[in-house]
């Protein structure tokens, strides 16, 4: 097919030849969100795996105090600009970290699926594209350090507005029909935090003199969970995830905090949940606040021709899929209509001790990512 000189099969085989060892090196570094030392070490690994001609800078992290993000750029003589996107932070704490291990065809380890496996493929795709500078005008690789816990606005969208495409490497999947799935639709995501303020008292001698923040929050959690309607018109999910209250065994808890994870087709669906929190109940005052409001993503229409072109180049079907989990791709979708996510390897168990990717999918998904990238650069 015209326009681009990269061989998808050869480039994917080259990526796969190194990907398992590269993933092992990246997983070996413990990188819970907010850990500066781990982030610096992991980004040093990423920098070493970039094409040698890449111009590397450290961009300010969206989260104040976070380790600077890694931004690499390569210039070419073509006409199209492409962004490859990933993150190296995980939700696994240092004490739960373990090195990568292989069990059959599965590669287990913290962040293998979410999303160090995807980062390894993104870096491999960057090396492949760098070998054909005549096919692109500019290639940018952005690896951020705060995706898993960011509650502030994402700071990188403006600098990439006008790019031709954004490819994000969250974990991949197959459709029920066996096609290679890539994510073109995601729900909006938000976090509802409710702080509670009651009154302490001795729980033995004067329990009724207190105003129990723990009980008030427990009741509120059940009430707000009634908004959960994932099959409803907004596809709204409301899941209480964290509740903390109390400091001593014999004291009525005077304060506490409840966190709820919210997902829906649009951000506006979260307002009624927040507004359902009363100002006070049984002498306990509530203060609700919506945090981490991430937009939804719907690039189905914009990417239809792109996926058809990528399918023709790959020789097997690349199908659009939807996913409920949040991603930095959602932030770029409004500014870069050709935004495609889920280009990483297939796996499972994200955010759990059993997280894994399948070894065979490293090459298979490299082929998918390259097919989509080649279609972008060919203008298809």
Residues of the chain with CATH 3.40.630.10: 8-187+296-377
Residues of the chain with CATH 3.30.70.360: 188-294
Sign of CA dihedral 47, 50, 51, 53: negative
Could you read off the pLDDT tens digit of each residue along the chain, which spans 380 residues?
Answer: 446 788 999 999 999 999 999 999 999 999 999 999 999 999 999 999 999 999 999 999 999 999 999 999 999 999 999 999 999 999 999 999 999 999 999 999 999 999 999 999 999 999 999 999 999 999 999 999 999 989 899 999 999 999 999 999 999 999 999 999 999 999 999 999 999 999 999 999 999 999 999 999 999 999 999 999 999 999 999 999 999 999 999 999 999 999 999 999 999 999 999 999 999 999 999 999 999 899 999 999 999 999 999 999 999 999 999 998 889 999 999 999 999 999 999 999 999 999 999 999 999 999 999 999 999 999 87
Question: Over the stretch 243-264, which tens digit does the pLDDT of each residue have?
Answer: 999 999 999 999 999 999 999 9
User: How does strand 138-144 pair with strand 81-87?
Assistant: parallel
| The model scores a pTM over 0.85 | yes
Give the tokens for residue 282: 């049984």
Question: Over the stretch 106-135, which tens digit does the pLDDT of each residue have?
Answer: 999 999 999 999 999 999 999 999 999 999
Going by C-alpha positions, the residue among 339, 342, 346 that lies closest to residue 306 is 339
Q: What is the pLDDT of residue 3?
A: 62
User: How does strand 81-87 pair with strand 165-168?
Assistant: parallel
CA distance 169 to 119: 7
Q: What is the pLDDT of residue 206?
A: 95
Give the tokens for residue 137: 């005008």
Q: What share of the chain is helix, strand, coil (3-state, %, to 5)?
A: 35, 30, 35
Non-local CB neighbours of 305 within 8 Å, separated by 6+ positions: 380
Q: What is the pLDDT of residue 42?
A: 98
Topology (CATH level 3) of domain 8-187+296-377? Aminopeptidase (3.40.630)
Q: What is the pLDDT of residue 4?
A: 74
CA distance 145 to 29: 13
Q: What is the pLDDT of residue 325?
A: 82
CATH for 188-294 is: 3.30.70.360
Going by C-alpha positions, the residue among 73, 216, 88 that lies closest to residue 137 is 73
Residue 161 burial (10 A CB sphere; 0-12, 13-18, 19+): exposed
Q: For residue 68, what is the DSSP state? A: P
Give the tokens for residue 158: 């403006």
């Amino acid at each position: 097919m015209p326009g681009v000189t990269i061989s998808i099969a050869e480039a994917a085989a080259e990526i796969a030849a190194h990907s398992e060892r590269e993933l092992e090196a990246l997983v070996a570094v413990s990188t819970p969100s907010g850990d500066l030392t781990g982030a610096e070490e992991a980004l040093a690994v990423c920098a070493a795996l970039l094409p040698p001609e890449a111009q590397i800078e450290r961009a300010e992290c969206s989260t104040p105090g976070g380790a600077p993000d890694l931004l690499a750029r390569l210039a070419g003589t073509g006409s199209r600009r492409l962004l490859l996107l990933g993150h190296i932070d995980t939700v696994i704490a240092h004490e739960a970290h373990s090195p990568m291990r292989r069990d059959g065809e599965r590669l287990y380890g913290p962040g293998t699926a979410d999303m160090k496996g995807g980062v390894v493929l993104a870096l491999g795709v960057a090396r492949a594209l760098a070998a054909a500078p005549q096919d692109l005008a500019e290639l940018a690789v952005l690896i951020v350090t705060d995706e898993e816990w960011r509650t502030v606005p994402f700071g990188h969208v403006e600098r990439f507005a006008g790019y031709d495409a954004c490819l994000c490497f969250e974990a991949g999947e197959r459709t029920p029909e066996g096609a290679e799935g890539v994510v073109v639709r995601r729900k909006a995501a938000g976090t509802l935090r409710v702080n509670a303020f009651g009154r302490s008292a001795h729980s033995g001698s004067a329990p009724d003199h207190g105003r129990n923040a723990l009980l008030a929050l427990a009741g509120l959690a059940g009430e707000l969970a009634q908004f959960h309607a994932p099959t409803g018109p907004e596809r709204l999910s409301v899941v209480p995830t964290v509740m903390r209250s109390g400091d001593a065994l014999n004291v009525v808890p005077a304060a506490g905090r409840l966190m709820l994870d919210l997902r829906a087709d649009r951000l506006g669906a979260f307002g009624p949940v927040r507004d359902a929190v009363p100002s006070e109940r049984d002498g306990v005052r509530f203060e609700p606040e919506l945090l981490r409001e991430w937009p939804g993503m719907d690039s189905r229409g914009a990417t239809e021709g792109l996926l058809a072109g990528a399918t023709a180049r790959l020789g097997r079907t690349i199908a659009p899929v939807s996913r409920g989990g949040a991603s930095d791709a959602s932030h770029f979708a409004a500014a870069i209509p050709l935004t495609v996510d889920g280009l990483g390897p297939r796996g499972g168990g994200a955010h759990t001790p059993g997280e894994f990717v399948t070894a065979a999918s490293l090459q298979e998904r490299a082929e998918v990512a390259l097919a989509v990238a080649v279609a972008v650069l060919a203008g298809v």
